[in-house]
Amino acid sequence: MPIRRITKHGERVLKTPCPPLDYAAFKNELPALLKDMWATMAAARGVGLAAPQIGLSLRIAVIDVKPEGKPRRIVLINPEILSLEGELNDEEGCLSLPGVYAKLRRHARARVRALDENGVSREVSGEGLLARALQHETDHLDGKLYIDRLSFEDRLKALDAIKDAKPSWD
C-alpha cells in the first residue's frame, strides 16, 4: 500500500517524540517505507513528511522543496540540528493540519546532520523554505507541531481554524 493515511492533529503519535532509529536493525524495511513516504507526500502535495505523520514513531523524515522546480529528495534519519541562524517570518502549514496556516517566525538558515537512506552521515544546509522544512520535520520527530510554536494569541486563532477545518479531515 504505497499511499498511507496521514495522521491529523489530535492523534497521539504526533505528540510522541520518536526514539533514535537503529539503522542497522531497520535498513531492510527502509526502502519500502521510504517509497511509501515519498508517494504519500507527493499525493498530498507536501514538501516534507515525517514518519509519525503516517502513524509510525520512527525518527525518519523526507523533504523535497524542489529548488528551481527540480526534485531534490532529502532523507533525514536521526537528524540533529547543528546550527540555526537568522529569522524569517513566513506562512507555515502541515499535512497533519489540512486547511490551517499561520505565520510563524523560524530561523532563515539551518544546518542539520542526519543519516541518509544508505546509513551515511551527511550534513544538509538550507535557507528559506528548505531551512523551514528542516526545522518543521525535525520538530515532528520531537513530537511537536508548528502550532505549538505560535504565540498564545496566534495559537488560539489556529485552534479556531482547526475547529472549522476538522469536519473535512479523514
Q: Which stretch binds Ni ion (CB under 5 A): 71-79, 94-102, 126-134, 149-157?
A: 94-102
What CA–CA distance (Å, rounded) separates 60 from 119?
12
Q: Which stretch binds Ni ion (CB under 5 A): 60-68, 75-83, 87-95, 127-135?
A: 87-95
Cell of 9: 492533529
94 makes contact with Ni ion (CB under 5 A): yes
The least CB distance from residue 149 to Ni ion, in Å, is 12
Q: By C-alpha distance, which of 8, 130, 11, 107 is closest to 61? A: 130
Q: Binders of Ni ion among 112-131, rule CB under 5 A? A: none
Residue at 163: amino acid letter: K
The least CB distance from residue 46 to Ni ion, in Å, is 8
Residue nearest to Ni ion (CB): 94
For cell 532529502, name the residue.
Answer: 74
137 is catalytic: yes
Residue 110 backbone dihedrals phi, psi, to 5 degrees? -140, 145
> Which stretches within 50-169 are classed as H helix?
129-141, 152-165
Q: 94 or 102, CB closer to Ni ion? A: 94
The least CB distance from residue 98 to Ni ion, in Å, is 10
77 makes contact with Ni ion (CB under 5 A): no
Contact between residue 103 and residue 111 where contact means Cβ atoms under 8 Å apart: no
DSSP state of 56: -
For cell 523524515, name the residue.
Answer: 61
Q: By C-alpha distance, which of 92, 101, 99 is closest to 167? A: 99
The catalytic residue among 68, 91, 117, 137 is: 137
Q: Which stretch binds Ni ion (CB under 5 A): 93-101, 102-110, 111-119, 151-159?
A: 93-101
Residues 8-47: x/- map of binding to Ni ion (CB under 5 A)?
----------------------------------------
Q: Kindly list the catalytic residues.
A: 137
Residues of this chain that bind Ni ion (CB under 5 A)? 94
